[in-house]
Amino acid sequence: MKKVRLEIVGLSYSQTQSGAYALVLGESTGSRRLPIIIGGFEAQAIAIELEKMTPTRPLTHDLFKAFSETFSIEVTEILIYNLVEGIFYAKLVCTDGTREVEIDARTSDAIALAVRFNCPIYTYEFILKSAGIVLDDETLPSNENTIAAAPTEETVSSNPEGEYQSKSTEELKNLLQTALDDEQYELASKIRDEINNRKQS
């Protein structure tokens, strides 16, 4: 399967889930965005490294990197390889110079390590097709790094039952555009899913 390279384009407090954060990944050579809801600790770990801040004591991901480097193990890439019932699955591709090993990881942890090892992040086309959001005219913010709160599942949240059922498809399309304009990517993914469900029925 062909891999698509992703970059981190945004990290901000989630406006739809209390105590959660929205990590937005975008394809390097396209306009699609992949919103992932992550917990506060993982958001903090990513934000600290993106901002090149140095905590007083090593965080778990810093410890992992120090441990790996001590034993000459390098993380060469991160691959978000599956999406099942709204949960993303990722793995680390590691090498010690003689053999390559893939290690299963939560997506948020994998990305926290990607920014520390300065390695590329990839996903497959089918994941971008099913969970990605296409932006036409966009002005994306620089990373908004806000910290703290409780952890949550790494999901593209499914619609609360009946939330959009009373709205017409045209109204949903307008809501989708508004959510994209306001950079509310996790909300946009919910609306997009409802539109897609109607197309299939």
Flag whether pLDDT at 100 surpasses 80.
Answer: yes
Strands 74-84 and 121-124: parallel
- Helix residue ranges per DSSP H, 26-153: 40-50, 60-70, 107-117, 125-131
| Residue at 148 is within a domain | yes
Overall pTM surpassing 0.75 (yes/no) = no
Domain count along the chain: 1
**pLDDT value for 143:** 39
| Residue at 86 is within a domain | yes
| Residue at 182 is within a domain | no
| Residue at 186 is within a domain | no
| Residue at 54 is within a domain | yes
Indicate the average pLDDT of the chain: 80
Flag whether pLDDT at 40 surpasses 70.
Answer: yes
| Residue at 167 is within a domain | no
| Residue at 162 is within a domain | no
- Burial of residue 146 (number of CB atoms within 10 Å: 0-12, 13-18, 19+): middle
**pLDDT value for 183:** 60
State the residue range of the domain holding 131. Answer: 3-156
The per-residue pLDDT for range 147-175, each reduced to its tens digit, is 333 333 344 443 444 566 677 777 777 77
CA distances from 24 to 68, 167, 188 (A): 27, 27, 12
Flag whether pLDDT at 82 surpasses 90.
Answer: yes
Q: What is the CATH number of the domain that holds 115?
A: 3.10.690.10
Q: Residue written as tokens 């999406």?
A: 83
| Residue at 31 is within a domain | yes
Residue 50: Cβ within 10 Å count: 15
